[in-house]
Structures are given as C-alpha cells and as structure tokens.
Amino acid sequence: MNAHWMAKNRTVFLLLVAVLMQAAGNAFMSIGMKELGATASTVDDWLLLARAGLTSPWIWAGIFCLLGFVSLFAIVLSWADLSLAMPIVAIEVVVNVAFATAFLGEQVPLTRWCGVVLVAAGVALVAGSARGGRKSESVPS
C-alpha cells in the first residue's frame, strides 16, 4: 500500500468516527434536553436549566461525544485541508437524521429524506477526491 492510499483512508476513517461521535452526542443531548422539558426565557430560567443539565447523564454523554468529535476533527485538520474535511463531515446530516429515526423515534418526511440523499451524494463526490493532506506538505505517518 502506498502512503497516499493510507493517508486518504486514515483521513476518511477518522472523519467518519468523528461523525458517529457527533451524531451520538446530538442524540444524547436531545434526550437529555427533552427530559428537562424546560424553556428558558429569563436569566434565572437559564441558570436553573444549566444546573439541571449538569446533573443529567444524557447531557454529560452528549458533551463527551461532542468533545470527541471536536478532538478528532482538529486532529484531521492538522494534516488535511478544510475544503476536504468539512464536506466529508457534512455526512453528519445523513447520520443525524438516521439516528433521530432509529434511536429517537422521530418521524422524518419523504422530502427531508430526499434532501438527505442529495447531501450524501455531495459527500461521496468530495470523499472520492480525498488526497489525504495538503499538496505542499508531506503526509504524517
């Protein structure tokens, strides 16, 4: 296997793991916030909501997963172009809608699924053009 192939696949793999962490984090956060069932319209409401959120294991699970996403994304950006990484991460739209349907029981209309398919097609085009890194720099091992 050559260095280009390995770098390309490492970039796509890490971004896909990051997207799964992001989708799980969003799902956990959604569960936690719905359990709180609160709306905050004043500063006092915000403080009460924040305090309640800090005691929710779902919120903490969401924070942990979202921090994992940010960490992996930052690592990938240390060698990959943003113009490559960001469109690949856009697959998060597909994964988030799938998680919402599968794990949260949300009903997703056909028109929204059609939009999701268009996003997936765009992501496939970008992922197919992955170089793994910048042309002007060597790819880390």
According to the model, what pLDDT value does residue 136 have? 44
Note whether residue 140 is domain-resident: no
Domain that holds residue 85: 3-128
Note whether residue 104 is domain-resident: yes
**pLDDT, average across residues 43-64:** 86
130 within 8 A of 84, measured Cβ to Cβ = yes
Q: Is 97 helix (H, G, I), strand (E, B) or coil?
A: helix
Distance in Å from the first CA to the final CA of the chain:
13
Looking at the structure of the chain, the number of domains it has is 1
* pLDDT bracket for residue 17 (50, 70, 90): very high
> Cα separations (Å) of 2 from 8, 75, 80, 115, 141?
10, 21, 17, 36, 12
Total-model pTM: 0.77
Number of H helices, E strands in the chain: 6, 0
Note whether residue 139 is domain-resident: no
H/E stretch holding 45 reads helix 43-53
2: tokens are 């050559």
**pLDDT, average across residues 70-98:** 91
Between these two residues, 76 and 49, which has the higher pLDDT value?
Answer: 76
